[in-house]
Homo-oligomer: A and B are copies of this chain.
Amino acid sequence: MIKKITIIGSGNVATQLSLAFKRANFEIIQIISRNQKSGEQLAKKINTSFSNDIKGVLKSDFIIICVNDDNISSVVKKLPDIPVVHTSGNTSIEVLKNKKIYGVIYPVQSLSKERKINFNNVPVCVEASNRNFEKKLVTIIKKISNHVYILDSKSRKYLHLSAVITSNFSNYCYSISKDILDQKKIDFSLLKPLIIYTAEKTLYQEPKLNQTGPAKRGDKKTIKEHLEILDNKNYKNIYKLLSKNILKEYEK
């Protein structure tokens, strides 16, 4: 039974996973982080010990690596032979292959340190080096989330790509809109109900059926008028490219 957990990292994922596991009565026995300040803060928050040196790692049942993708392989090299997982969407399980027992737990959510989140609603994708460890991982992740999926590294990479498009690019669209409205001294709040409504529609019907707007309707006159009043060249290019693609998709 996995009971004692070590967390490596002290960023957003480390913070939210620590809190979720603590709430589920796991024992976080140590936070290890190169960042003294945020590491100490997190250790204090969950009332556990802290080390800024990976060589000081204590014995535990299970290590969770929550560091930047680029640093995972160097961290792994320094670890003793304890079952270990990383939490990266875009990194293959192969980066851990020199260990005996290893895996991946990838929470499909944009986590931040400060904003409280109900981890039960966060989908978590699991991959493991063998069937027995996969079972163990599923069992413990089910204690913190109601949505556990088995997904291999290749699929996880596509999921991560899709998450970037769906979340980061949408947010950038919000950001462009706010910039355009700010310049005209129009309150961005006017768009907030529309933003929420558009997102919530994905819960009821697939996005392709939810598409609305001038490009979907083939309304080239409105598209032309929008392009005429858009004076930012970059925004113009984005508007053009996205409209062109939507037009093409729906004229069929």
Interface residue? A43 (CB, 8 A): no
Q: Is the CB of A162 within 8 A of B180?
A: yes
Let me know if A208 is at the binding interface, CB within 8 A. yes
3 tightest Cβ-Cβ pairs between the two chains A and B: A168-B213, A199-B199, A174-B207
Q: Which of B174, B214, B225 contacts A202 (CB 8 A)?
A: B174
Compute how far the CA of A175 lies from the CA of B226 in the bound complex, rounded to whole angstroms: 23
**A200-250 residues at the B interface, CB under 8 angstroms:** 200-204, 206-208, 210-216, 219, 221-222, 225-226, 229-230, 234-235, 237-239, 241-242, 245-246, 248
Q: A90-B222, A229-B161, A239-B165 are in contact. Are A202 and B207 (CB under 8 A)?
A: no
Encoded as 1 (CB less than 8 Å from any B CB) or 0, chain A from 136 to 164 comes to: 00000000000101010001011111111
The answer, among B121, B196, B207, B241, for a CB contact under 8 Å with A241, is: B241
How many residues from A make CB contacts under 8 Å with B?
Answer: 88
* A167: B residues at CB distance < 8 A: 191, 194-195, 197-198, 212-213
Contact with B along A101-138 (1 / 0, CB 8 A): 00000001110000101000111010000000000000
A55 within 8 A of B: no
Chain B residues lying within 8 Å of A186, measured Cβ to Cβ, are 151, 155, 158-159, 162
Contact yes or no, A245 B241, CB < 8 A = no
Q: Is B207 in contact with A175, judged by CB distance below 8 angstroms?
A: yes
Most B C-beta atoms less than 10 A away, residue of A108, A169, A190: A169
CA distance A16 to B163 in the complex (A): 33
In the bound complex, CA of A172 to CA of B216 (Å): 10
Closest B residue to A248 using CB positions: B234
* A184 interfacial contact with B, CB 8 Å: yes
What distance in Å separates the Cβ of A114 from its nearest Cβ neighbour in chain B? 10
Cα–Cα, bound, A192→B183 (Å): 32
Cα-based distance from A215 to B175 in the complex (angstroms)? 14
Contact of A199 among B169, B184, B196 (CB under 8 A): B196
Sample (5) of A-B pairs whose CB atoms are under 8 Å apart: A70-B221, A149-B190, A159-B181, A167-B197, A199-B199
Task: Report whether B166 and A174 are in contact in the complex, using a CB–CB cutoff of 8 Å.
Answer: yes
Which residues of chain B come closer than 8 Å to A226, judged between CB atoms?
90, 160-161, 164
- Docked CA distance A65–B164 (Å): 41
**A158–B174 CB distance below 8 A:** no
Kindly report which residue of chain B lies nearest to residue A201, judged by CB atoms.
Answer: B171
